[in-house]
Amino acid sequence: MRGGKHLLLLAVLVVSARCQQPKVSVTPNITHLGIYSGDLFYLRCESCSSPVRWYFNDGAQAETSERYKITVAHPGHSGFYQCECKGQKSERFDLSVRGYLPHASLTIATGQPVMQTGGSVILHLENEGGLQGWNCWVYRGKDNSKKIGLRLKDNESTFVFQPNKLEAPETTFWCTDRNQNNRSNQVTVRTSGKRVSLQTCPLPPVAGDNLTLRCFVCGKDEFINITFYQNNTAIEESSSVTYNFSHVTELVEGSYKCSAKFMHKAPTVGSPYEEFSDEQYVFVQVTPVKANGSFKYEPPVVAVVIALVIVLGILSAAVVVYCYRKNNVTGPVYVELALGS
């Protein structure tokens, strides 16, 4: 029967797709919780090693590593992503970024978004509906996210806790309710061995807000001037460690860094020397809009499908053998983390 034949071919397709076809996934695994403005995550091309080609809405991207980093998510990142390696292209991965923040809020109570390596921050979690059953998670850029168990006394709506010391270059925190239906925004803390660091608000400013950039300098007494840079162009040099934007617009969006001019201690040495901070990208949220996330289905050309099916049919036997040998990959396991405080 015709239908039966098609079904068989479909089964063959599924088997071979499972083994060979690359697949786009998200780390840390937050997709089931919704992706919101300001999130940091990686799109990963599973069963691929670099070089990888990435596509966003069918457009080729510059990224060639297995991981495609989204540093500060915004609705403009919504669409479909595909990765390709060794001539194999993944299925479309639909990503929808909400143009607003979750109800529950996580903020830095003590510390800054950029800390010295080995430093620690104190975080403040708040949810109007109470925090019973809530836990937090930490992602350090590698491996899997780890759980931070919160020792909540009762159903309070705010909680303050201190995660472990910051050793990774980039550490991301967020919290979820018991059933993982709701979550907080993320807080990302970076570490830097540099003496100069630029601090911005951890959440992207909404158009119309005021925004303060702050240049932190270790060894305060010896620096003379601070320079702020926007997209590598100096925008201000003065003795002030802050730079303010009032009523930000999209035009403020860009890459920022600052530098401090230091004077040599010895009285005979003349000219000052300059040290730069790392760059921070500032994204401005325009009016909170719901992401579109619509999936456009384009029916494939029948002839191409038939040709593909025949080719895959020939290959399937070899593929099945290969699969049985190689299919011992396990899913990520979340490790419970004892809390220091």
Ligand X SMILES: *[C@@H]1O[C@H](CO)[C@@H](O)[C@H](O)[C@H]1NC(C)=O
Handedness of CA 67, 295, 206, 184 (dihedral sign): negative
Closest residue to ligand X, judged by C-beta, is 130
Among 7, 10, 18, 32, binds ligand X (CB under 6 A): 32
Stretch that binds ligand X, among 5-13, 59-67, 286-294, 310-318 (CB under 6 A): 286-294
- 219 interacts with ligand X by CB under 6 A: no
DSSP notation for 116-166 = -TT---EEEEE-TT--TT-EEEEE-SSS--EEE-----SS-SEEEE-PPP-
Among 117, 231, 249, 341, binds ligand X (CB under 6 A): 231
Spatial distance between the Cα atoms of 206 and 249, rounded to a whole number of angstroms: 8
- 63 interacts with ligand X by CB under 6 A: no
State which residue, 103 or 326, has the beta carbon closest to ligand X. Answer: 103
Q: How far is CA 259 from the centre of its chain?
A: 26
Spatial distance between the Cα atoms of 214 and 210, rounded to a whole number of angstroms: 13
- 25 interacts with ligand X by CB under 6 A: yes
Residues 246-285 that bind ligand X (CB under 6 A): 246, 251, 253-254, 261, 272
Handedness of CA 11, 12, 15, 17 (dihedral sign): negative
- 178 interacts with ligand X by CB under 6 A: no
Is the N-terminal amide bond of 299 cis, ω within 30° of 0?
A: no
Spatial distance between the Cα atoms of 83 and 52, rounded to a whole number of angstroms: 7
- 240 interacts with ligand X by CB under 6 A: yes
Among 88, 210, 249, 341, binds ligand X (CB under 6 A): 210
Stretch that binds ligand X, among 83-91, 190-198, 232-240, 311-319 (CB under 6 A): 232-240
E strand or H helix at 333: none
251 Cβ partners below 8 Å, 6+ apart? none
Spatial distance between the Cα atoms of 142 and 147, rounded to a whole number of angstroms: 14
Residues 127-146 that bind ligand X (CB under 6 A): 129-130, 132
* CB of 277 vs ligand X, minimal distance in Å: 17
State which residue, 147 or 165, has the beta carbon closest to ligand X. Answer: 147
State which residue, 23 or 165, has the beta carbon closest to ligand X. Answer: 23
- The token pair at 337 is 């983390």
Sequence letter at residue 93: F
* CB of 225 vs ligand X, minimal distance in Å: 4
Spatial distance between the Cα atoms of 310 and 318, rounded to a whole number of angstroms: 14
Among 49, 57, 117, 212, binds ligand X (CB under 6 A): 212
Q: DSSP code of 279?
A: P
- 192 interacts with ligand X by CB under 6 A: no
Q: One symbol per residue from 92 to 131: x for binding ligand X (CB under 6 A), - otherwise; what is it?
A: -----------x-------------------------xx-
User: Which positions touch ligand X (CB under 6 A)?
Assistant: 25, 29, 32, 103, 129-130, 132, 155, 157, 181-182, 210, 212, 224-225, 230-231, 237-238, 240, 242, 244, 246, 251, 253-254, 261, 272, 289, 292, 294, 331-332
